[in-house]
Amino acid sequence: MRIAIAADHGGFLLKEKLRARLAGMGHQVRDFGTDSTESCDYPDFAEEVGGAVAEGRADRGLLVCTTGIGMAMAANKIAGVRAAPAQSEDEVRLTREHNNANVLTLGARYLDESRAVELIRVFLETAFSGGERHVRRVAKIAQLEHA
């Protein structure tokens, strides 16, 4: 799978570990930064990953910041992106099955590497369930998007 990944300074260390783990699993990983723990602006990285997903250059996106929330807020401004912050397998499974989330955002303050890898595994392995009601709702989300 083609995965776009990025983090701000608060998520840099976890992102580095996750990037290596994903590559080791055989995924094609494109890292959009940041490259250090020096303070930077998370919307810049959300825009890069969100753009890659929305334009079809990546199958899924992963964003890491301190809480996962700021990255989700920024990424969801991009038409075609459905970013979800999550801390449990159930949240990740449901957001894939029901919302067809294509970007997962993680909070480095709350997750260690092994927990984050498990959430990512669920995110990558869970399919959108489809079905009339979920398709209808995801289409309504797309109608809310403004260029």
- At 139, list the tokens: 């289409």
Cβ atoms of 135 and 97 closer than 8 Å:
no
Separation in Å, CA 131 to CA 50, 89, 108, 135, 137: 25, 22, 34, 6, 10
Report the distance separating Cα 31 and Cα 4, nearest Å.
Answer: 6
Report the distance separating Cα 2 and Cα 53, nearest Å.
Answer: 9
Residues designated catalytic: 65, 98
**Shortest CA distance to 13 belongs to which of 107, 86, 104?**
107
User: Over the Cα atoms of the chain, what is R_g?
Assistant: 14
